[in-house]
Amino acid sequence: MQGIAFERALMIEDYWVGSLHFSEPFGDDTLARLNALPPVQARNGQTYKIRAEHVTIHEVNLDYRTKYRLILDRFSYLYPQAIGLFMGFAFRGVYLINNPFSFYYYLRNKDAAYMVVKELGISIPKTYILPPKEAPALKAEDFKYHKFFDWQGMAEDLGWPIVIKPAEGREAIGVEIAHNMEQLLYFYDRSGSQVMMIQEKVKTPYPWQIRALCIGRKIIPIKYIFRKFDASEYLFDPEFLTPEMGQKVINTCRIINRVLGYEMNSVELFIDEQGELQAIDFNNPVPDGRLKALGEIFYNDYQQALCDLVLDIVREQRPFDFLPPDINRFAHIARRADLTREQKFQMALELANRYYEPRDPD
């Protein structure tokens, strides 16, 4: 048996990795790094050489079998043909980063993600989900089931200013700040058929927030100043969080990523005036990859973490779960009426850590 394993180790097999990123420099740099990696030996004794390239775009027969064993998806949300293809590839066992179900569903339904993670003890700012301003599929008589919104009651509960944003959202598109009722109604009246959310704006003693870059098992909390129009800043400050708060950020991100099924994500959080961590946005399955914005340190950390994730998958011969594997276990924790919020958080963290702190196989 040892002789067979030795022979397999000597025979180097190509392990094809595809990437969908088009002209994004980050994607090109990732491919270059992956192709520069030395051969890696997997647990099954086989040695693999990673061959990485951009996926080719062409017509696809339903019986088509791709050569890629792993695909890095950084663009399907803007390129519809890839959505169905990647779902089919995933069903056949191709490893997708990210899981297509997580990617497409939660990116378009951030309201659902808020409800899910809140049930696991993660603090979310007070939020209301609003029926759309326009509903073309409804007839006039269907609106008899609609109640008048309690705008005043919601405003009193949330306090001014109020964040209003679409449930389907990316890159802060459609996110507005209303400072009074006139502005709030103005933004809502122009939202069309989108499902909108209004949310308490977190009051914080700090001029920055936290953006945690989450790639595979690596979570990097970053001091972050959000600005519209791609003018946000990532500030290098390794000690901007206390050890306790830093660990809380990491634990929170671990739960979020595992319950939503992300292996590539960024999570935005605030520390409020009471010192409590508030998660405000965590559906970013294609984290910002601009070198100019991230700076060389975080850009390199991001690239290295992505390479490490690919290497882990190859070494472990990790099978791909078509659906996020632990979603039902997380749901059972959330439904337990006998647990406090903190107990749910700790149980969810233990479950998440099966991924983040795996035990070596016997």
Does residue 66 contact residue 18 with C-beta atoms inside 8 Å?
A: yes
State yes or no: pLDDT of 1 exceeds 60: no
| Residue 187 backbone dihedrals phi, psi, to 5 degrees | -65, -40
State yes or no: pLDDT of 110 exceeds 70: yes
User: Where in the chain are the domains?
Assistant: 2-97, 107-121+204-288+326-356, 127-200
Distance, in Å, from the CA atom of 81 to the CA atom of 10, rounded to the nearest integer, reads: 39
Distance, in Å, from the CA atom of 128 to the CA atom of 95, rounded to the nearest integer, reads: 36
Distances (CA, A) of 187 to 179, 183, 184, 197: 11, 6, 5, 11
Distance, in Å, from the CA atom of 344 to the CA atom of 330, rounded to the nearest integer, reads: 9
- The residue count for the chain: 362
Residues 6+ apart with CB under 8 A from 332: none
Q: What tokens does 110 get?
A: 């951030």
What amino acid occupies position 300? N
What pLDDT does 8 receive?
A: 55
Extended strands (E) in 120-208: 127-130, 162-166, 176-178, 196-200
Q: How many CB atoms lie within 10 A of CB 97?
A: 23
Among 198, 162, 158, which residue's Cα sits nearest to residue 180?
162
Q: What is the pLDDT of residues 50-73, one digit of tens each?
A: 999 999 999 999 999 999 999 999
Does residue 187 contact residue 164 with C-beta atoms inside 8 Å?
A: yes
Can 107-121+204-288+326-356 and 127-200 be said to share one CATH topology?
no
Distance, in Å, from the CA atom of 275 to the CA atom of 152, rounded to the nearest integer, reads: 28
For residue 256, how far is the Cα from the chain centroid? Answer: 8
Q: What is the mean pLDDT of residues 40-46?
A: 95
What pLDDT does 157 receive?
A: 98
Q: What tokens does 100 get?
A: 């297509």
């301003």: which residue's tokens? 133
Predicted confidence band of residue 183 (pLDDT cuts 50, 70, 90): very high
For residue 154, how far is the Cα from the chain centroid? Answer: 29
Predicted confidence band of residue 169 (pLDDT cuts 50, 70, 90): confident
What pLDDT does 360 receive?
A: 66
Q: What tokens does 143 get?
A: 């609106």
Q: What is the pLDDT of residues 262-286, one digit of tens each?
A: 999 999 999 999 999 999 999 999 9
Q: What tokens does 269 get?
A: 């959080």
Q: What is the pLDDT of residues 83-93, one digit of tens each?
A: 999 999 999 99
What pLDDT does 103 receive?
A: 87
- Mean residue pLDDT of the chain comes to 94
Residue 314 exposed, middle or buried by CB count within 10 Å (0-12, 13-18, 19+): buried
Among 255, 249, 320, which residue's Cα sits nearest to residue 113?
255
State yes or no: pLDDT of 296 exceeds 70: yes
Distance, in Å, from the CA atom of 259 to the CA atom of 243, rounded to the nearest integer, reads: 25
Share of the chain above pLDDT 90, in %: 84
Among 147, 151, 128, 133, which residue's Cα sits nearest to residue 190?
133
CATH class of this structure's domain 107-121+204-288+326-356: alpha beta
Distance, in Å, from the CA atom of 45 to the CA atom of 55, rounded to the nearest integer, reads: 28
Q: What is the pLDDT of residues 205-248, one digit of tens each?
A: 999 999 999 999 999 999 999 887 778 899 999 999 999 999 99
Does residue 190 contact residue 247 with C-beta atoms inside 8 Å?
A: no
Among 162, 174, 166, 156, which residue's Cα sits nearest to residue 200?
162
Distance, in Å, from the CA atom of 253 to the CA atom of 267, rounded to the nearest integer, reads: 7
Q: What is the pLDDT of residues 132-159, one digit of tens each?
A: 999 999 888 888 888 999 999 999 999 9
Q: In the CATH scheme, what architecture does the domain 127-200 have?
A: 2-Layer Sandwich (3.30)
